[in-house]
Amino acid sequence: QLHIVESGGGLVQPGGSLRLSCTGSGVGAAYNLGYYAVAWFRQAPEKEREGILCISRGGGITSEPDSVKGRFAISRDDATNTVYLQMNSLKPEDTGVYYCAADRSALYYYCSGSWNEPQHKYDYWGQGTQVTVSS
């Protein structure tokens, strides 16, 4: 069983940076995020959930959406059982609740082609962390 939790959100001025963390815990080997593809999502009030980036078990990373291209990066650290989302040059429109999700059935080298589609099922979700970009 896996429990994942996001951290690192907060209030930041436009142009600033934040690094979000998605950390796994649990009993036995199931806690290890290395067995899962992990994706970052965000959702603003009254808007659809938006996929940001996904990293596969083998480190393959999805294409950057135009909304974050050149500004966000995803990475994983096996030593700390953590997946990161580095966010630079933040804009007010980046404001929202950011979630990470883990998918145990994904391909090794690539995230599933449908990883960011609304009906794609993830095995585990974090509780989310609020990111507010405002002066």
pLDDT in tens, 40-69: 999 998 899 999 999 999 999 999 999 999
Predicted confidence at residue 31, as pLDDT, reads 79
CB neighbour list of residue 49: distance below 8 Å, 6 or more residues apart: 41, 42, 43, 99, 118
Q: Considering the chain, what percentage of its residues have pLDDT values greater than 90?
A: 83
Region of 109 (left: φ > 0; alpha: ψ -120 to 50; beta: rest) is alpha
pLDDT in tens, 6-25: 999 999 999 999 999 999 98
Kindly provide the b/e burial profile for residues 118-129, where b requires at least 16 CB atoms within 10 angstroms of the residue's own CB.
eebebebebebb
Compute the mean pLDDT over every residue in the chain, rounded to the nearest whole number: 94
d(CA 24, CA 32) in angstroms, rounded, equals 6
Distances, alpha carbon 94 to alpha carbons 33, 38, 70, 123, 131, in Å: 26, 20, 14, 26, 8
d(CA 99, CA 22) in angstroms, rounded, equals 8
pLDDT above 70 (res 78) = yes
pLDDT above 70 (res 123) = yes
Q: If pLDDT is split at 50, 70 and 90, which confidence band does 29 have?
A: low
